[in-house]
């Protein structure tokens, strides 16, 4: 059972105690202090979380993957316990942070996986640092490209209208409106984008709410979206050399099937039946099995 819910229960040093064999670290790269959690042995496997979450989004699959790999879950600049500078949020720039982290750890090559915004950074890492990329795993979300300009202003038919992509482009207003109550956005997203709404439980939601409730955290995470025009230019005409797998629920599977073949030659796609957007939390056994089978 969880102890009485206080703010202290949701800090990294307490959370990592729930994952035996994992430890929490900070390292300075590119003038930014990044937070990461690591554990396990074997070839390195970097996991990058997405919006609106933290490293904790991988807590269900980290022990499963650590049986075979050295798992390194990195909080991107602007996320969780990592620094929140005012610049540097392009996916290429954040991929450079990951590259510098690997240099600090003495790792020449890695498997790399990402979910949501983290998937975009992992994709950018494979595109711009092919010499460091062993294999690429894309969870449910492609890298921003010109297809984003086709997103509708109004909802069309069934499905979730991604209004937050536009809202997060607005500077200064979101952090003023949402400071101290970002959980309203998170809970709406979780409830809309999960098939099983209990897969991200009340404790998990409080972890994420505490990480995003400050003005700096909201401003920084919006920065990931405000660089989309730069990201689209950075990835244009790029090819991914590394073997790649896309893993997604049915909606994400359709999106990955449409976008990824334009960039990747050695591509596998796996559909996680019965899952929404947050595949590693909703279907951890299936997601980790797909990853392990792909990596070998």
Q: Is residue 22 part of a domain?
A: yes
Q: Is residue 185 part of a domain?
A: no
Please report, for the domain that includes residue 53, its CATH number: 3.40.50.1820
Q: Is residue 40 part of a domain?
A: yes
Contacts 24+ apart (CB under 8 A), 16-24: 18/59, 19/59, 19/62, 19/63, 20/63, 21/63, 21/66, 22/62, 22/66, 22/71
Q: Is residue 180 part of a domain?
A: no
Q: Is residue 182 part of a domain?
A: no
Contact 107, 45 (CB under 8 A): no
- Mind listing the pLDDT tens digit of every residue in the chain (296 residues)? 444 567 789 999 999 999 999 999 999 999 999 999 999 999 999 999 999 999 999 999 999 999 999 999 999 999 999 999 999 999 999 999 999 999 999 999 999 999 999 999 999 999 999 999 999 999 999 999 999 999 999 998 888 999 999 999 999 999 999 999 999 999 999 999 999 999 999 999 999 999 999 999 999 999 999 999 999 999 999 999 999 999 999 999 999 999 999 999 999 999 999 999 999 999 999 999 999 999 99
Q: Is residue 92 part of a domain?
A: yes
Domain that holds residue 255: 15-147+227-295
Tally the domains of the chain.
1
Evaluate if pTM is beyond 0.95.
yes
Q: What distance in Å separates the CA atoms of residue 75 and residue 94, rounded to the nearest whole number?
A: 10
Q: What distance in Å separates the CA atoms of residue 179 and residue 216, rounded to the nearest whole number?
A: 9
Q: Is residue 32 part of a domain?
A: yes
Q: Is residue 221 part of a domain?
A: no
């Amino acid at each position: 059972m969880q102890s009485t819910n206080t703010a202290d229960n949701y800090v990294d040093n307490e959370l990592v105690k729930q994952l035996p064999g994992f430890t929490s670290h900070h390292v300075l790269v590119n003038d930014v202090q990044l937070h990461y959690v690591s554990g396990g042995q074997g070839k390195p496997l970097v996991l990058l979380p997405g919006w609106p979450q933290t490293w904790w989004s991988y807590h269900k699959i980290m022990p499963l993957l650590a049986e075979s790999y050295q798992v390194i879950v990195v909080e991107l600049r602007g996320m969780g316990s990592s620094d929140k500078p005012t610049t540097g949020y392009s996916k290429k720039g954040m991929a450079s942070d990951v590259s510098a982290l690997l240099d600090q750890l003495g790792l020449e090559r890695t498997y790399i996986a990402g979910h949501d915004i983290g998937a975009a950074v992992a994709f950018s890492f494979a595109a711009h640092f092919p010499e460091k990329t062993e294999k690429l795993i894309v969870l449910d979300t492609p890298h921003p490209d010109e297809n984003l300009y086709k997103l509708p202003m109004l909802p069309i038919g069934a499905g979730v209208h991604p209004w937050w992509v536009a809202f997060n482009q607005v500077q200064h207003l979101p952090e003023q409106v949402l400071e101290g109550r970002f959980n309203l956005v998170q809970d709406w997203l979780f409830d809309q984008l999960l098939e099983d709404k209990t897969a991200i439980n009340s404790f998990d939601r409080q972890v994420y709410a505490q990480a995003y409730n400050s003005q700096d955290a909201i401003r920084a995470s919006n920065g990931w979206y405000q660089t989309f025009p730069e990201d689209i230019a950075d990835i244009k005409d790029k090819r991914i050399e590394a073997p790649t797998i896309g893993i997604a629920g049915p909606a994400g599977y359709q999106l990955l099937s449409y976008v990824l073949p334009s960039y990747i030659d050695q591509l596998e796609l796996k559909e996680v039946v019965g899952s929404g957007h947050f595949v590693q939390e909703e279907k951890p056994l299936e997601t980790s099995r797909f990853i392990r089978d792909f990596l070998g």
